């Protein structure tokens, strides 16, 4: 048995000077932080000043693979991008599937760090261990799909392209980056690329990822495969309907927000459900590298075959804006992808503008249910035209500039996702305490609160939610470092991941080691955010969710009872009343060097 | 919380996983532990049988807490467990007297637990020895048998820890029955779980 999974190499590209360097990564760093989100947090906390301008030269973009990337583990063909977010000002990571990460890894690198900023548009190619910068003036202004096609024509179709669209170039605060039809969506990392004048990064590679103990890995994959095949979420629901399978489920529970979280059930949900999409539009499935789940859908539309919207996008561009027309939602989602926008933040920001107009606070001409207005607003945001220039700053800045910050449905500046936490108390705590703001991924409490993973708990109760949320946050941080897909984690528990990781790397990891690594990552992110000025007052939710009960449906009468959960959460974490990790906790996690 | 303790306490007793006064349950709430009273009848738990005390510090309630409180605390401090079930399942105890580890023969048991380590200790009840040895095993396994004494299972919820306890006893009953039947096993796969 040897040392596998990692190449132990970092590629650093300075766009200000054009200098490209390679460096060895110490084994201790790899085994401590694993990869993906862990290595990203370690790099950002160590190298990016917490008070820097996210769109300035000091910010860095970290693309990190994990030891499982390219190792043939189902759902692990992923990479993670980290930076200081221009939308939130927090540390932020977002991971994506496709082939791009596998090709970066197979080119011989665990991690790519982009620093500085170019004066002219460029793109970066990485192929078989060689990296070079190229002039990109002719690509600047092109949409995502055109950029992808043109670069593949030049570099070959065994190349993966991660690129930004006009939104990233125009520094829209929630611009995304797209690769192989997958999105690095949240938090505006596309704008960080745009600020650096980096249009795209391409990867190509065929090196073999070494496996320390192939026999053990095969055994573990066989065992994990049994659960993937047996669990109806991963063997039937996601393969047949994709993530839109959740639309009907969450609507029925009364936690499917509508009209900027004014309602929690959408009457016309049957027209936009996963079942309807499968029946009327789906023509095929698409998967990430080596994943049997194949949750991405190909849809037939008037303009051709396109990637279908995910659960969150259907919601954000649909009921959140009072819209229930499926063709419009699919078109709006495609437009967001083409222009390089995070569909969730786009929809929620437009929903906020719709409510501000409805209340007579700020009239952008948008109103709930306005399908034409939605499509027009998306274009205006991407090009910062008219009122789109203000919307491009995100819902928090939009609402605050109108003196009505309470109407922005966000946490720490990041727009909330498609779950009304008033009917999911643990989800509320998870969102309020998330290091990156209103994203459900860092603690998918809908698992225990709605899907029975690992067991079904009372979704309206606050009791025991602090401990469950913390465990979810810690294990998610670890899984995001391997990097494995959260969907696979719904069927395959962390004890399998620990053994798979041990087999691939040759380093002995126990289940508890993943929890501890996740806890270290979570606390490091927390320290960074404290340095950036985020304190206890930021661990909260929009006033609507704390004060205005849901009006009807199965969750009616509920608000998020945050205070008692938050107090228990801090004690559980070993933080003081201000939310600062205690010195003994930092010693325990070997984080004493990272002061807040 | 009382209702939850009553549900699983009663089920443990009725399923024969505990005798009238044996076993204990606990959950972790931040820096507090809620545990059954020393000598409580798990099949008939009442409010007075549910004791809250500190995870790190003692308070007056410690005099009422289960004899195994120190073991529960040690497990909580070293693992991500939020609930613990300690039981005395008879078939599992019997098998633990003969085996170094318990490997399920049935598929349900193999899917869920793969392998259950057996820990040998000189002092098995509320001992410092268990406090030192058990958490290490529970970092890797969901449930551990203490030879001749009983099982310790962890979970995110009491229901989970109860499930592992119930599964363990089922596994051991199946092993017991197949050994009684004395035939040669047709399925060789269980041997692979020795490596789990």
What would the two tokens of residue A306 be? 């396109």
Among candidates B80, B157, B196 on the partner chain, residue whose Cβ is nearest the Cβ of A515: B80
The side-by-side arrangement of strands in the sheet containing B101-102 is B50-54, B32-36, B24-29, B83-87, B150-155, B143-146, B116-119, B101-102
- CA nearest A118: which of A51, A32, A57? A57
> Is the per-residue pLDDT at A407 higher than 60?
yes
What is the residue-wise DSSP string for A191-243? HHHHHTTEEEEEEE--PPPP-S-HHHHHHHHHHHHHHHHH-HIIIIIHHHH-G
Closest-CA residue in chain B for A513? B139
- CA nearest A572: which of A443, A465, A476? A465
- The pLDDT score that the predictor gives to residue A56 is 98
**DSSP 8-state code for residue B84:** E
- The pLDDT score that the predictor gives to residue A596 is 64
> Is the per-residue pLDDT at A318 higher than 90?
yes
Q: Is B25 on the interface with A (CB under 8 A)?
A: no
Peptide bond into A483 cis (omega under 30): yes
CB < 8 Å to A568, chain B: 29-30
Please state the rounded mean pLDDT for residues A428-442: 94
Averaged pLDDT score across all residues of chain B:
94
Averaged pLDDT score across all residues of chain A:
95
> Is the per-residue pLDDT at A536 higher than 90?
yes
A512-531 confidence digits (pLDDT tens): 999 999 999 999 999 999 99
- Give CA–CA dist A65/A63, Å, rounded: 7
A233-279 confidence digits (pLDDT tens): 999 999 999 999 999 999 999 999 999 999 999 999 999 999 999 99
Residue A285: which residues within 8 A CB-CB, separation 6 or more?
A239, A242, A294, A295, A296, A297, A298
Q: How far is CA A395 from CA A264, A309, A329, A399, in A?
A: 19, 22, 20, 6
Residue A157: which residues within 8 A CB-CB, separation 6 or more?
none
CB < 8 Å to A464, chain B: 27, 29, 82, 157
pTM: 0.95
Q: Which residues pair with B85 in a beta bridge?
A: B25, B153
Min distance A473 CA to chain B CA atoms (Å): 12
- Give CA–CA dist B7/A582, Å, rounded: 37
Which of A72-76, A531-535, B138-142 has the lowest average pLDDT?
Answer: A72-76
- The pLDDT score that the predictor gives to residue B195 is 80
- Give CA–CA dist A562/A565, Å, rounded: 5
Contacts 24+ apart (CB under 8 A), A147-152: A147/A199, A147/A200, A148/A178, A151/A123, A151/A200, A151/A202
Residue A401: which residues within 8 A CB-CB, separation 6 or more?
A390
- Give CA–CA dist A11/A111, Å, rounded: 6
Instruction: Choose the mutation target among A474, A510, A520, A566 for the interface with B, i.e. most B CBs under 10 Å.
Output: A510
The answer for B 47-66 residues in CB contact with A (under 8 A) is none
> Is the per-residue pLDDT at B25 higher than 80?
yes
Q: Is B80 on the interface with A (CB under 8 A)?
A: yes
A1 falls in which pLDDT band (50, 70, 90)?
very low
Among candidates B1, B79, B196 on the partner chain, residue whose Cβ is nearest the Cβ of A463: B1
What is the residue-wise DSSP string for A445-482? THIIIII-SSS---TT--TTHHHHHHHHHHHHHHHHHH
- The pLDDT score that the predictor gives to residue B193 is 83
Give percent of chain A with pLDDT exceeding 90: 93
Q: A466 and B1 in contact by Cβ < 8 A?
A: no
Residue A525 three-state SS = helix
Among candidates A227, A467, A510 on the partner chain, residue whose Cβ is nearest the Cβ of B139: A510
- Give CA–CA dist A573/B61, Å, rounded: 24
- Give CA–CA dist A400/A397, Å, rounded: 5
B145-175 confidence digits (pLDDT tens): 999 999 999 999 999 999 999 999 999 999 9
Closest-CA residue in chain A for B163? A455
Q: Is A231 on the interface with B (CB under 8 A)?
A: no
Please state the rounded mean pLDDT for residues A130-138: 98
Our measurement of the distance from residue A242's CA atom to the centroid of its chain's CA atoms, rounded to an integer in Å, reads 17
A64-117 confidence digits (pLDDT tens): 999 999 999 988 989 999 999 999 999 999 999 999 999 999 999 999 999 999
- The pLDDT score that the predictor gives to residue B189 is 73
- The pLDDT score that the predictor gives to residue A558 is 97
- Phi, psi dihedral angles at A256 (to 5 degrees): -110, 95
- Give CA–CA dist A135/A116, Å, rounded: 16
- Give CA–CA dist A145/B89, Å, rounded: 62
A9-68 confidence digits (pLDDT tens): 999 999 999 999 999 999 999 999 999 999 999 999 999 999 999 999 999 999 999 999
């Amino acid at each position: 048995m040897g040392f596998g999974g990692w190449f132990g190499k970092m590629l650093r590209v300075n766009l200000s000077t054009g200098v490209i360097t390679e460096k060895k990564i110490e084994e201790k760093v790899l085994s401590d932080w694993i990869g993906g989100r862990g290595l990203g947090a370690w790099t950002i906390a160590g190298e990016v000043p917490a008070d820097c301008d996210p769109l300035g030269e000091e910010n860095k973009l970290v693309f990190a693979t994990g030891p499982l990337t390219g190792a043939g583990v189902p759902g692990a063909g992923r990479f993670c991008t980290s930076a200081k977010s221009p939308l939130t000002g927090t540390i932020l990571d977002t991971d994506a599937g496709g082939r791009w990460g596998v090709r970066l890894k197979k080119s011989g690198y665990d991690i790519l760090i982009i620093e500085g900023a170019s004066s002219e548009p460029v793109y970066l190619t990485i192929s078989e261990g060689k990296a070079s910068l190229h002039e990109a003036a002719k690509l600047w202004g092109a949409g995502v799909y055109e950029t992808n096609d043109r670069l593949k024509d030049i570099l070959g179709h065994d190349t993966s392209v991660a690129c930004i669209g006009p939104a990233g170039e125009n520094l829209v605060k929630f611009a995304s980056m797209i690769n192989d039809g997958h999105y690095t969506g949240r938090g505006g990392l596309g704008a960080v690329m745009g600020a650096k004048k980096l249009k795209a990064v391409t990867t190509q590679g065929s090196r073999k990822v070494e496996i320390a103990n192939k026999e053990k890995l095969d055994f573990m994959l066989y065992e994990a495969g049994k659960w993937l095949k047996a669990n109806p979420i991963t063997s039937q629901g996601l393969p047949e309907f994709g993530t839109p399978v959740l639309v009907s489920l969450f609507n029925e529970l009364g936690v499917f927000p509508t009209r900027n979280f004014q309602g929690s059930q959408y009457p016309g949900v049957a027209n936009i459900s996963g079942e309807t999409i499968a029946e009327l539009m789906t023509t095929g499935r698409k998967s990430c590298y080596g994943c049997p789940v194949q949750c991405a859908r190909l849809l037939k539309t008037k303009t051709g075959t396109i990637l279908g919207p995910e659960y969150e996008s259907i919601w954000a561009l649909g009921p959140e804006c009072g819209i229930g027309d499926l063709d419009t939602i699919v078109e709006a989602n495609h437009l967001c992808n083409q222009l390089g926008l995070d569909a969730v933040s786009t929809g929620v920001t437009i929903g906020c503008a719709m409510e501000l107009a409805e209340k007579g606070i700020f009239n952008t001409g948008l109103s709930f249910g306005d399908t034409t207005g939605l499509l027009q607003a998306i274009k205006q945001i991407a090009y910062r035209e008219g009122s789109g220039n203000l919307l491009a700053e995100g819902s928090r800045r939009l609402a605050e500039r109108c003196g009505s910050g309470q109407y922005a449905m966000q946490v720490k500046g990041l727009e909330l996702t498609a779950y009304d936490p008033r009917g999911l108390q643990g989800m509320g705590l998870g969102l309020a305490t998330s290091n990156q703001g209103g994203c459900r991924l860092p603690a998918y409490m809908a698992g225990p609160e709605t899907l029975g993973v690992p067991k079904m708990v009372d979704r309206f109760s606050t009791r025991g939610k602090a401990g469950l949320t913390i465990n979810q946050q810690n294990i998610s941080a670890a899984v995001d470092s391997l990097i494995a897909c959260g969907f696979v984690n719904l069927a395959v528990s962390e004890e399998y991941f620990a053994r798979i990781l041990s087999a691939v790397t040759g380093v002995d990891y126990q289940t508890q080691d993943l929890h501890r690594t996740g806890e270290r990552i979570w606390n490091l992110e927390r320290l960074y955010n404290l340095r950036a000025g985020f304190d206890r007052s930021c661990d909260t939710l929009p006033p609507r969710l704390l004060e205005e009960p849901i009006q009807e449906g199965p969750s009616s009468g509920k608000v998020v009872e945050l205070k008692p959960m938050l107090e228990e959460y801090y004690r559980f974490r070993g933080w003081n009343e201000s939310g600062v990790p205690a010195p003994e906790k930092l010693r325990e996690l070997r984080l004493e060097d990272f002061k807040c | 919380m009382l209702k939850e303790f009553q549900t699983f306490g009663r089920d443990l007793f009725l399923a024969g996983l505990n005798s009238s006064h044996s076993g204990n349950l606990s959950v972790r709430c931040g820096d507090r532990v809620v545990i059954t009273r020393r000598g409580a009848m798990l099949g008939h738990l009442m409010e007075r049988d549910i004791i809250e005390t500190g995870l790190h510090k003692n308070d007056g309630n410690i005099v009422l807490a289960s004899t195994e409180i120190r073991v529960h605390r040690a497990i909580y401090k070293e693992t991500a467990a939020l609930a613990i079930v300690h039981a005395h399942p008879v078939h599992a105890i019997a098998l633990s007297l003969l085996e170094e580890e318990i490997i399920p023969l049935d598929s349900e048991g193999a899917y869920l637990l793969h392998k259950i380590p057996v820990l040998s200790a000189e002092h098995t009840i509320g001992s410092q020895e268990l406090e030192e040895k058990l958490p290490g095993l529970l970092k890797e396994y969901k449930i551990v048998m203490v030879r001749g004494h009983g099982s310790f299972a962890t979970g995110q919820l009491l229901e989970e820890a109860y499930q592992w306890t119930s599964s363990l006893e089922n596994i051991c009953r199946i092993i017991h029955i197949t050994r009684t039947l004395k035939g040669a096993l047709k399925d060789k796969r269980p041997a692979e779980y020795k490596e789990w």
